[in-house]
Structure 1
Amino acid sequence: MTSSMNLELFSREPQQQLLPYDGEAWLYPNFFTDLDLAELNSSIQWQEQQLFMYDQWVVPKRLVCLYTNKQHSYNNMTHPILDWPTSLLQLADKITAVHGEQFNAVLCNLYRDGSDYVGWHSDDENNMDQSCIASVSVGATRSFKFRHKTTKEQVSVELEQGDLLLMRYCQQHWHHALPKRLKVDTSRINLTFRRII
C-alpha cells in the first residue's frame, strides 16, 4: 500500500451505543475517510483458514490473515509473528490517538462477496484482552448482528465503508455474526484490532 492514502478522521463522536446491556458496542460512522479497498487487499497476506469444529476440520467462507507482535495459538493452530503492513499500523495509530487503546494484533477478514460470511461466535479466548476490540469496515455494506447468549435478544446494524465499531466487555455475553447477503457482489474487508495477553 502506498503512503498516499488519506487517513483523515471524519467523526470522533459515536452516533450510537448498540447494546442494551451486558457490554458496549459503540458505532462511529465514517470514522475513516478515503480508505481504499484495492490497496488494502493487495497489502495483506490472505490465506484460507482451517478451524476444528464439530469434530472435523472445516474451511470457513472467507479469507483471513492475523498480524501480531507475539505468537498466538488458537483452535489447535499456532500463528507466527508477522510484520504489520504500514497501512495497518497507520490505522491502529489513528484509533489509539483518539481512544487511547493499544493493540498488538489485527485479524483481517476478506469477504469476497455476499456468499462469504461468519456464523455466530464470540472473541472470548483466554489469552485475549476483553476490554476493547476495534473493528474497521472497508468496502461493501454488510449487516452485522449481535445475539445475547442468555436472553437471545438480537441487535442488527448496517456497517458501511469507513465505519469503526468499538466492542467493550461484551464478548462474554454476546455472540456476533456477519450473515450471508447473496445480492452483494462486491468485496468487504474487516479489520479487528485487539490485544493478545
Structure 2
Amino acid sequence: MVVRRGYLQHPSPETTGNDEPGVERGVRGFRSLLVVLAVLSSTFLYALDNTVTANARPSMIETFGNRFDMLPWLSVSYLMGEVGMNPVVRVSSTSFLIIFEIGSAVIGSAQSIEAVIAGRAIAGSGGSGIYVGTIKIISDMTMEAERATYLNYVGMCWCLGTILGSVIGGTFADSSATWRWAFYINICIAAVAAPACIFLVPSSPSRATGSS
C-alpha cells in the first residue's frame, strides 16, 4: 500500500493518461466533477463578496439613514476578517463555508449598519478558509501532471467573481430585490454546493510518504 500526498491510494497495475505511475485517484468520475464544481463555486462566492459592495454601498448607506461615517467599514471589515483568520486556518473548508454563509445571512437581514459590518467581518473570516481549503482539496485530489490545470480553474473562478462582484451588487441594488439579495444569493448557491463538500470530499490523512 502506498501513501501519496493527501489521500491514501492503492497501487494500480496500469497507468493511464497523465496519472502518476501506480496510483489511482482518491476521487474519481462524476463524483470528482461534483467536488470540483462545488469547491470552485465556493471560491467564486468568496471572490464575489470582495467587490459586491462597490456599487451597492450608496443604497446600503441610504437604507440605514445615510450613515456616511460608517461607509469605509463596509469594505474594510471584510478584509479584516480575511486577514485575521488566515493565521488560524486549520479546519475543513466546509466549516468555513458555513461561517461564510452565516455572515451573508447576517448582512442580508441586518437592521443596522453595525450589523452589516459585523456580518461582513464574519463572511470575510469564512471566505479566507474557503480559499485555502479549495487549494488544499484540489491539490489533494489531483495528480501532479494535472494539478496546475485545476489550480488554474481556481484562479479563473477568483477572477470571474472579482470582476462580476460590482456588477451583481449594483444590479441588485438598483432592482426591486434590493441590495440584500446580493448577499442572500450566496446562501442559495451554497445550498447547492454544500452537500458535495460535506458528503463527497474524502478526509485527508496526514501527508507522508512510505510503504507497507
TM-score range, shorter chain: under 0.3
The answer to which structure has the higher strand fraction is 1
Of structures 1 and 2, the larger Rg is shown by 2
The answer to which structure has the higher helix fraction is 2
Q: TM-score scaled to structure 2, two decimals?
A: 0.22
Higher RCO (C-alpha 8 Å, min separation 6) = 2
Q: TM-score scaled to structure 1, two decimals?
A: 0.23
